[in-house]
Amino acid sequence: MKENAIGRPVDIVSIGFANKSLKEIAEIVDNEGKKGADLVVLPETWPGMEPETLDGVTITAMAHLAQKHKMYVLSPIFRKGNGIKRINSAVLLDRQGEVAGIYDKVFPYWSEFDLDPPTEVGMDAPVFETDFGRVGIAICFDSNFPEVWKALADKGAELVLYPSAYSAGTTLQAHALNHNYYIVSATGAIDCIVYDITGRELLYESDKELNISRITLDLDRGIYHYNFNLEKLDQLLKDHADSIEREIFMDREQWFVLRAKQPGVSVRKLAYSYGLEELRDYRNRSRQEIDKMRGFKFYEKVVKATYL
């Protein structure tokens, strides 16, 4: 936690580009690290088509910069090793330059199977613990498959990083809206989109050769449904008016967003202590309870089996 920080902020840099060398990108990442980034995100398979190992030149260079600047770096590569000939992976490096997690693309695009060797299919959509929150990853063609995004939500993702060859646009917005996590992209289309936990577009930037987008997101902000929460909200705001606020009231959706106003306060923990149920948890509980009323274990047999 940053000293005197309000909420749980993370400073993110998205770098969008195509066909740039490792030397060029390393210099850019180095410069962003000097400015104090917590996390740098790079596009899908940015080093090119040749498969690399985790101790290859790309990850070694990015790990050095992650350690040098005490920041996280998401570096996608075509990965090989341990019997894997080629897999479209995104490697998350932590502040010590160690591998914090690897996401293997669950839905490779059709042309990836025509490569030599062909791309293997990822089997899971994990969520990774960082010192600022729980991070999920999806890559490019994954945008078209809701089960990946549902799996990330079910595993508690607060922020989803989207390295891609293309922008995806409102497809990503739908996932942010449905699952109430932030989404940040870094693309070979040389742009960046950031969506809020409400599904609102927070940022869109693009350029012809190089796009560098910087944004600070507060992962402590919480989103809630009106149902069963309004009386508890009134009491919460009455007791803690100086330290938290209702930031957004969305009457048509019947949602509201809370955020902290003072350092050292976690609005989500405080709301939980008053019995407020976050929107994602409310949906999941409602789904499970309603499925029980069907007279058989519908959730376990059908719904859960559909997702990763």
In this structure, the answer to whether residues 231 and 143 fall within a common structural domain is no
Give the C-alpha distances (Å, rounded to integers) separating 120 from 85, 91, 107, 116.
8, 16, 10, 11
Are 93 and 144 found together in one domain? yes
Task: Indicate whether 54 and 104 sit together in one domain.
Answer: yes
Q: Are 184 and 204 in contact (CB under 8 A)?
A: no
Give the pLDDT score at 68.
98
Which pLDDT value is given to residue 164?
98
To the nearest whole percent, how much of the chain has pLDDT over 90?
Answer: 90
Indicate the pLDDT class of residue 66, thresholds 50, 70 and 90.
Answer: very high
pLDDT at 290 over 90: no
Provide the pLDDT for residue 292: 81
Give the C-alpha distances (Å, rounded to integers) separating 12 from 36, 74, 81, 207. Answer: 10, 11, 30, 18
**Same domain? 15 vs 45:** yes
Tell me whether residue 189 is in a domain: yes
Nearest in space to 106 (alpha carbons), one of 64, 136, 63: 136
- In a domain? residue 305: no
174 in any annotated domain: yes
Predicted pLDDT of residue 3: 75
Average pLDDT, the chain: 95
Q: At 82, is the pLDDT very low, low, confident or very high (cuts 50, 70, 90)?
A: confident
CA–CA gap between residue 156 and residue 133 (Å, rounded):
10
Residue 304 pLDDT exceeds 60: no
192, part of any domain: yes
Same domain (yes/no): 228, 214: no
Q: Work out the average pLDDT over 223-250.
A: 97
Q: Which has the closest alpha carbon to 37: 219, 214, 218, 217? A: 214
Give the residue-averaged pLDDT of 120-130.
97
In total, how many domains does the chain have? 2
Question: Do 188 and 172 sit in the same domain of this protein?
Answer: yes
Whether residues 229 and 212 share a domain: the answer is no
- Asked whether residue 307 carries a pLDDT value surpassing 60, the answer given is no
> Is the pLDDT confidence value at 283 over 90?
yes
- Domain assignment present for residue 302? The answer is no
- Residue 238 domain flag: yes
**Average pLDDT over every residue of 33-50:** 98
Question: Confidence class of residue 83 from pLDDT cuts 50, 70 and 90?
Answer: confident
- Average pLDDT on 69-94 reads 95
On whether both 52 and 162 belong to a single domain, the answer is: yes
pLDDT above 70 (res 298): no
Mean pLDDT of 140-148: 98
Per-residue pLDDT at 278 exceeds 90: yes
**Same structural domain for residues 226 and 185?**
no
Looking at residue 288, what is its pLDDT? 87
76 pairs with which residues across the strands?
Answer: 90
pLDDT in tens, 192-226: 999 999 999 999 999 999 999 999 999 999 999 99
Q: Which residue type sits at 292?
A: K
CATH of the domain at 35: 3.60.110.10
Print the domain residue range for 146. 9-218
User: What are the distances in angstroms from CA 29 to CA 15, 39, 44, 142, 163?
Assistant: 8, 10, 16, 26, 16
**Boundary residue ending a domain (177, 202, 218):** 218
* 296 pLDDT above the threshold of 70: no
Q: Which among 4, 61, 5 is positioned nearest to 33, based on CA atoms? A: 61
pLDDT number for residue 117: 94
The label of the residue with tokens 């989103």 reads 223
Alpha helices in 36-103, H assignment, sequence order? 57-69
Q: Within this chain, do residues 101 and 242 fall inside the same structural domain, yes or no?
A: no
297 pLDDT higher than 70: no
CA separation for the pair 186, 299 (Å, rounded): 35
Please give the angle made by the CA atoms of 14, 20 and 23, to the nearest 5 degrees: 90
Query: Please, which residues bridge with residue 137 across strands?
Result: 161
